[in-house]
A and B are shown apart, each in its own frame.
Chain A
Amino acid sequence: AQRVTQPEKLLSVFKGAPVELKCNYSYSGSPELFWYVQYSRQRLQLLLRHISRESIKGFTADLNKGETSFHLKKPFAQEEDSAMYYCALKDGAQKLVFGQGTRLTINP
């Protein structure tokens, strides 16, 4: 069965430091992966998807099929990056399976 694992519930870094939020998945098919973000008091929204190969708000994520990972990275964290981040996988039934989420806190 498909599964998304985010090993860190909490991650705290200083402003300007690099950030990496880990995400591993298990899926027998060809995965389609996403990162969603939820800022304080706001709804969940799409941050980026692997098929777009884009950088959003300085964040990038590369799909590594060998390691079954889709880690989210940003070279220099900003205070406004503090939020809850969810890694998600779209399965063959077009459903999104979410990881447990990582709460990122950027310290000034």
Chain B
Amino acid sequence: GAVVSQHPSRVICKSGTSVKIECRSLDFQATTMFWYRQFPKQSLMLMATSNEGSKATYEQGVEKDKFLINHASLTLSTLTVTSAHPEDSSFYICSARGLWNTGELFFGEGSRLTVL
């Protein structure tokens, strides 16, 4: 089956630094990748939609300069949290849709970011 891998699974950083999270589709090409944020005991909130070779589309209220998304290839999208602050601490999850586009999304295992 289609596998999506995120790295790192956990990261701790100091306030003011930047953190990059990678999302890779391991055995399929993903035309579209999505980045979600999940607060404890809450649902997944879509942050942005990332299409290969084009700029990401951000949801309302998500700062594009804060959360930089790059989708340079059909198998890799990255989320960079710039100048991280404690309120950015969260669980970030990516998902990918394959070229066949049945609507099913394949999810990464998530990355827990803690900003001190």
Nearest-Cβ distance from residue B8 to partner chain A, whole angstroms: 15
A101 to B42, CA, bound (A): 8
Asked whether, in the complex, the Cβ of A96 is within 8 Å of the Cβ of B46, the reply is yes
B1-53: which have CB < 8 Å to A?
4, 32, 34, 41-44, 46, 49
The segment from B62-70, B76-84, B103-111 that touches chain A is: B103-111
Asked whether, in the complex, the Cβ of B43 is within 8 Å of the Cβ of A101, the reply is yes
A77 to B63, CA, bound (A): 43
The answer, among B41, B44, B103, for a CB contact under 8 Å with A49, is B103
Decide yes or no whether A45 CB sits under 8 A from chain B: yes
Kindly report which residue of chain A lies nearest to residue B103, judged by CB atoms.
A90
Decide yes or no whether B93 CB sits under 8 A from chain A: yes
Of B44, B95, B108, most A-chain CB atoms within 10 Å: B44
The number of chain A residues with a CB under 8 A from chain B is 20
List 29 A-B residue pairs with CB atoms under 8 Å apart, sorted by A's residue number: A9-B41, A34-B104, A43-B4, A43-B107, A43-B108, A43-B109, A44-B93, A44-B95, A44-B107, A45-B107, A46-B104, A46-B105, A49-B104, A51-B103, A86-B44, A90-B103, A93-B49, A94-B101, A94-B103, A95-B34, A95-B49, A96-B46, A96-B105, A97-B46, A98-B44, A99-B43, A100-B42, A100-B43, A101-B42
Which residues of A are at the interface with B, using a C-beta cutoff of 8 A? 9, 32, 34, 43-46, 49, 51, 86, 90, 93-101
